[in-house]
Amino acid sequence: MTNAFIPLPKSLMNKYLVLATCLSLSACSAEIDDLIAYTDSVKANTNISIEEYPKFKQLQPVNYSASNLRSPFQRLQQGNEAKTSVTVQTANCNQPNRQRSKEKLESYGIDALQMTGVFSTGGQKWVLIKANDGTLHKAKRGQYIGLFFGKIINITDKEVVIEEMLPDGAGCWKTKIATLTMSSVAGENDNV
């Protein structure tokens, strides 16, 4: 068996090692003169402009004139209700019947309902209404529907006419007509 590795004398091995180290260090010499020249030229040719801050106008101070009024964060004292209450006109104006019990369809807004069909039994016309939660309800003329005291006043094959009562802000209620049609989709009614 012949050994492919021929041992070298130690002094020759050290010389080769020093030579290899010098060659590797000379390959890593710093030749960055061109990089320094480039960065110097970029710095010299680049203009740095800093925008000035905008000038703010001096605002005139405002006198707080409500210091003698009641704090909005405190409860009303007994006897102060008359000073801060709004006069409400309830005589000779429409008012909803709050004494009657609510029906199932009054828990949905009209825009959350869809007319799905009409049928008649015993001379009474009924409408099928689907709510946006998927439940199907039947209703007839005179029943209440929607959040604003809506009353079904007419049922045809194509639509349901509903008379709603909306508050006017002064204690009275105004009537408004809304319709549900077969083509309306729950959540897309724009006539309510």
Starting at the edge strand found earlier in the chain, the sheet holding 159-167 runs 144-145, 150-155, 159-167, 173-181
Per-residue pLDDT of the chain (192 residues; tens, 9 = 90+): 555 667 778 888 888 888 888 777 776 656 778 888 888 888 888 888 888 888 889 989 888 888 888 888 888 776 655 454 555 555 678 888 888 899 999 999 999 999 999 999 988 999 999 998 999 999 999 999 999 999 999 999 999 999 999 998 888 899 999 999 888 766 555 554
What are the residue ranges spanned by the domains of the chain?
Answer: 104-181
**Residue located via tokens 């989709």:** 185
Instruction: Give pLDDT, residue 128.
Output: 95
Instruction: Give pLDDT, residue 3.
Output: 58
**Residue located via tokens 């019990």:** 101
Kindly state the DSSP code that residue 190 receives in the 8-state scheme: -
Instruction: Give pLDDT, residue 29.
Output: 56
Highest CATH level, class, for 104-181: mainly beta
